[in-house]
Structure formats: structure tokens, C-alpha cells
Amino acid sequence: MPQDDTNIISTEYSEIMQKSYIDYAMSVIIARALPDVRDGLKPVQRRTLYDMSELGINADKPYRKCARIVGDTMGKYHPHGDSSIYEALVVMAQDFKKGRKLVDGHGNFGSIEGDSAAAMRYTEARLDKFTQEVFLADLDKNVVDFGPNFDETEKEPVVLPVTVPNFLINGSEGIAVGMATSTPPHNLNEVVEAEKAYIKNPEISLEKLMEILPGPDFPTGGIVTNKDDLKEIYETGMGKIKLRGKVEIENVKGGKTNIIISEIPYTMIGAGITKFMTDVVGLIESRKTNDIVDVSNQSSKEGIRIVLELKKGADPDYIINMLYKKTKLEDTFGVNMLSVCNGRPETLSLKGVLKAHSDFLYELNTRKYTTLLEKEKERKEIQEGLIKATDVIDLIIEILRGSHSKKDAIDCLVNGNIENIRFRSQASRENAVLLHFTEKQANAILDMRLERLIGLEINKLEKEYEETQAKIEKYTDILENPASMKKTIIKGLDEVKKNYSQERRTLIENSEAAVFEEKPIEETDVVFLMDRFGYARVVDTATYERNKEACDSENKYVFTMKNTGRIGLFTADGKLHSVKCLDLPMGKMRDKGIPIDNVSNYNSASEELIYVDSIENIASSKLMFVSEKAMCKVVDGTEFDVAKRTVAATGLGEGDKVNTIAPISDEMRQVLLQTQDGVFLRFSIDEIPEKKKGAVGVRGMKLGGNDKIDKVYFMNFADERTIEFNGHEMALTYVKTTHRDMKGTKVRL
């Protein structure tokens, strides 16, 4: 019987889940969501840039399809799906999202207004020159460690040798498990100068650093309005930055003014611009302001230009303050400078970021110049051998001609072994014994071309040797002398600043909080109009009087009310929905209006409207309710003057619905109930008691079988009206007056 090697481990399920979740969380934090403070890149960004470098898609080479880049990156380094790689690639190519773009995109890479990039099969990309020179230049000099990729078939850099604090320059946003990073972009010139200042004096105060780097520099420009709060933000790595768009006032013909928004807050990128336009239109429709005539987005490749046209005599400063308060033209950017530092997530201060990157720069340069020094020492060894060889070239040629193999020749040159060498003279044999080249020198001598024996070539070789000695001295000085190392690092930072200098785009100041007090709405009479399809609007009374006949014939509900009032919508299922008049558009005669569903909780797809009137009119009257099961009651209208948008208007029995709601007056003395089976009952309204809105009411008529109330008529004692019944006209007085809660009379005409 075979032996069972199964090893069963007994443990708590909760412990396994806890460990698994922690492993997952750390994987997301370290390997996906957070940037490394050293190069400011997330793993997907780092792998994409490295893959482009490996593919040779440099700034001076033709563009390559993004699908090729994404596929190669996914296959070699980042097995997390093509969409995440392409999205990272697109963002690195968008100059309106990055302080300094890292990828040179060709094609549709989206827009600041939120348009998405074209599919990866249509777009092309290559490395930006900045990325090539600042991020990837020294990868061949053993400056960073390489590790295995996901399937251990390739090697990838653990971090890119970025020579500027990219974590600050481009900022970063990412959501991990239980934590998130949000770092604003900064100006490259200021970041470089700040790092130089820190390298020169690691004890420099935050105040001095902020004289050099006063705050964020967003690619969209705009204004930071809380300058005094930035010190605490840079001290703790956390806080809130208040942003405003840049607004200008433009005078136009006719004494009018336009408000021009030429720069937007960084947080408005994408859908935020459309949302801003919608919010402005909402302010106009809700009559928060009547001074904005039109709003248009005239933005182009040249920049942002959103135009608000104002009425003549409008106060532009009041409108601007309203926009700051009521829209995202003034917004907040939450700062949390969280990154991976020394292999773990850590929220860093400004000095903390500069320290981490300057330490990284020292490591990069130490490894770089150690590698260069070793190469120069190897080159020096070979050059010394070649120079020495030119002095005894005749002997070397004689050794080579007298050797049976390359091995014998090298043995003679290195060890002076002449056993297997034929010489022409005893003097040559004696001199050959004295040769002691190194093995590298011997191989270089054998590989040397005869043209190197020309006089000028010998001089060139000696000059190269002098240059090599100078480099060795230089590299040794850099590695051994801290002042020289510091000077070298600062020189490299200066070169980056010189080649890729950029102007500050964001203004930093202490602005006063926008003061905006809503002007009280002038109370006027308006006319509410709603057609049978549920499209509602209000018009001024003058418009209604001029078009009274058309308004009355084309609309189902027409009544006069105050523009500050509310409209009550009663439904068959016993609900009351209220709508502010200000939420409805003030339209012209031929305007269609908006669906009443859009501004209320009423749902036309599942609810049936029974009665509509202004809450003001309702509160000043009494309403009579009649249900399909003939339950009747009278309710004082003041009960419906409530603040809630939806309340229960009446109590209903199981399976019952409201049939009729109507205000009653002194002229309405009687009620006539008509059922679907043609049964009529006429009685005095005084027999119906007044109840609370939550009551079901009293029975108005005894119904037979499945019969139910069809129509309700209100009349006085001598009402001469006629109704159509079974194809005949019938006078309301045809039905005799009896009492409530009777069976009624079946009419046959």
C-alpha cells in the first residue's frame, strides 16, 4: 500500500483570511497603486517606459503603435490587463495632467474636456526626450538593481535612475487598500533648485525651501488661494489646497461685459468642465441669477476659453463670487504625499521627499562612477599594454611568427615562456623571457591592427591614455571626495534645468473668501402650465393674458401662483409630491418646458396624477377626496403645506385608489357619484365629515359586486348641467337627492 504523504495543517480560518488579505493589500500598495518616492513612478508606468526603451522607441525614432507597446509590456513585465497599461501610457502623454509629460503621443490622446483617447490600435507613441535623458540614460551603468519579471524570463529595473524628484514634478494619484496618495504637480525649475538647496544644506529650514518652491504648479494654471496653509501641508505631507480658475472681465459692444474663464482648477479636468457648464445653466434655470444671458465653451488647442455673456448693467464681481460659491470654479485639492519609501508606504513632508531623492541621487552617482572607474581602469590597462607593445613591436612580431598557436603566443607574452617559440636570434630569446604583459593586454595586442603602428596612431594612443588617466583621477575624486560628489550631482541638476526649463503656470496668493449673498427673489405672480404629457413651465402673467385661449386649450393644468411658491402633485396612490416653482423654467409661450418628473419625486411611468394646484391655493381651501371604493372625506388644505417633497396625502384601504380630488366652495352643495355600472347617488356635501389627511374617510356609497366609482360631479341644488351617459344627454338633476351610504339608482336611458 503506497504511503500517504499528505500533510494536513490545522489552523484558524480567520488567521488564514487575515494573512491572505494583508498579503493582497501589500501587493496592491507596493506593486500597483503607490509610486516609489525615488523615481515617482508606479510599477505600470515604470515598466511601460522601460519597455519602450528596450524596444528602442526613442525621441529621435519613428512613432510606434501603442498596441505594440502595450502588448510587449503586458507580455514581458506587467500581467494585469491591457487597459491599465494603455491608460497609464495615455496619462503620461497628456500635458494637461502631468507637470512634465513623459511620452510623446501621436494621434488622439484625449482632451482636457474629458474626451477619451482613441483605441490603442489607432494611436502611436515614443519616448519624450526628457524621459530618455532624465529617466533612462544610465541604465547601462549598473546604477539600479534589476529583478526577475513575473515569470522569471526577463529582468526589469526595480526603480528607474531618475535624476530629478519626479514625485514632486509630476505628482501622483492612486487608491490602494486602506490608503490613497494625492500629490500635486510642481514646477521643474523650482523643484530642481529646492533639491540643490537641500543637498548644499540638509539642515535648511522649510521656510527657506518654500522661498524657492512656494507651492504646487498645476499644468492647468489657476490660482492657489490659501498660501498661508501651504507651510503646514509641506510640513506634514497632508492638507487641502484651495484652487480657483483664472477669471477676466471683458468689455464688449453696447456697454455689456463678458466673464472669461481662461484657466480652470486642476480638479476640473475632464467631465468637470461639462459639469461647470451644466451648473451655470442650472443657476440660470433656477433663477439664482438673471444676469447671465449665455454660456459657451470656446476652448481650443490654444487654451481654455469659457465665455459667460452678461446683461447690460450686470455686476460681474457678484456673478464671479456666485460662480466661486455655487460651482467648481473654486475647488479643493486634497494632499496626501504618500509614497513607497524604503519598501514601505510613508507620508512624507517636502523635506522628506527631497531627502529620499537626494539619497537616491548619491546612490546613483556612486554606482555610476564606480562602474565608469572600473571601465576606465580596464581601458588604462589595455592602453598601457599597447603603448608598451609599440616599443617592442619587432620582438612581438617575431614571437607571433615563431608561434605554433595563439595559446603559445599569449603564454610567451604573459609568462615569458619561450619553449614552443622559434626565434631568429639568441638576443630575441633573451628579451622574450623578460616580457610580462597581463592576459588582457596580450589579447589586445593580438587583436591590434597594424595601422596602429603608424606614428600618428601611436600619438593618438598616448593621448587617449592621458585622457583615461584624467578620467580615472576625476572619477576617483568624485567617489572619495564628498564635495566633488555634491558638485557633480548639482551640475547634473543644473543641466536638466537648463535643457527643460519651464515657466510657472499657477499663481499662489492669499485670496479673500468669496462673499456671496443671494439676492432675495422678487415675489411676482406667474402662471403654471402643464400639458397632458407632463411637460411643465411657468410664464409671466402678461404672456398668459396675451395668449390665454391657446394656453387654456393646450394645457391640462393652468393656474396663477407666486414665483416663490410650490406646486402640489396628488397621485392616485395617495401621495403628494411638491415642486418649487423656482425649479421650473420661466419660458416663453412656445417653449415646451421640462418633464415634471425631472424636478420632483413623481414618476409618470408608475404613478397617475389626479390633481395639481399650487400649495398656496390648496392651503386656502378645503379638498374633498373620493376613492374608487367610494370612500369620501374633506381635508383642510393647510395640512398639505409641509416642507417634505413627498408625503402621504390620504389613507387608502387595500386595493383602493384615489378617483377624485377637488376643492369645495360654498357654491358646491351636493356631490353626484357615478359608478362604472351606471349607478348614481346624489347627496349633500354636508354629510361628508372633515377628517385628517391620514384618515381613510367614510363610505359615500354602497357598491355592488366589483363596481367602483367612475366619475364625480359637484353641483348646487338647481344645477342645469347635462352629462353624456350611454350615448344620451342626461341632466344632473335627473338623479334625485337622497343620502350618503346608500346603494344609489341604476339609470337606464
- Active-site annotation holder among 122, 475, 500, 557: 122
Cell numbers for 162:
531618475
122 an active-site residue? yes
Geometric angle at alpha carbon 332, from 89 and 250, rounded to 5°: 95
Distances (CA, A) of 399 to 323, 421, 525: 92, 7, 118
- Return d(Cα 350, Cα 230) in angstroms, integer: 11
Residue 199: closest CA among 496, 474, 485, 501: 485
For residue 388, with 0-12 CB atoms within 10 Å meaning exposed, 13-18 middle and 19 or more buried, which class applies? middle
Beta-strand ranges (E) seen in 486-565 are 507-508, 525-530, 535-540, 557-562
Number of Cα atoms under 13 Å in the Cβ half of residue 56: 2
Residue 556 carries which side chain, given as an amino acid letter?
K
Alpha carbons 700 and 688: distance in angstroms, whole number: 8
**Amino acid at the residue 594:** I
Query: Of 543, 725, 727, which is closest to residue 735 (Cα–Cα)?
Result: 725
Eight-state DSSP code of residue 701: B
Joined together, the cell numbers standing for residue 436 give 610580462
d(CA 117, CA 109): 4
For residue 143, give every residue at least 6 positions away whose Cβ sits within 8 Å of its Cβ, in sequence order, or none. 161, 363, 364, 367, 368, 371
User: If 0-12 CB within 10 Å is exposed, 13-18 middle and 19+ buried, where does residue 710 land?
Assistant: middle
Report the distance separating Cα 176 and Cα 61, nearest Å. Answer: 36
* φ, ψ (nearest 5 deg) of residue 96: -90, -5
β pairing state of 679-684 and 622-627: unpaired
Among 162, 171, 176, 180, residue whose Cα is nearest residue 338: 180
Residue 329 near residue 140 (C-beta atoms within 8 A): no
CA 709 to chain centre: 57
Integer Cα distance of 323 and 333 in angstroms: 18
**CB-CB contact of 77 with 89 (8 Å):** no
**According to DSSP H, which parts of 539-657 are helical?**
541-546, 548-554, 615-619
What 3-state class would DSSP assign to 612? strand
- Tell me the three cell numbers of residue 478: 568624485
- C-alpha 537/C-alpha 597 separation (Å) is 12
- Within 10 angstroms of residue 296's Cβ, the number of other Cβ atoms is 12
Helix axis angle, 66-76 to 82-92, nearest 10°: 120
d(CA 450, CA 452): 5
Q: How deeply is 552 buried, as exposed, middle or buried, from its count of CB atoms within 10 A (0-12, 13-18, 19+)? A: exposed
**Dist CA 743 CA 19 (whole Å):** 76
Q: Is the Cα dihedral 51, 56, 62, 68 positive or negative?
A: negative
Q: Distance (Å, rounded) from C-alpha 202 to C-alpha 217?
A: 24
- CB pairs under 8 A, 24+ apart, for 482-486? 485/362, 485/365, 485/366, 486/199, 486/200
Q: Which residues are catalytic?
A: 122
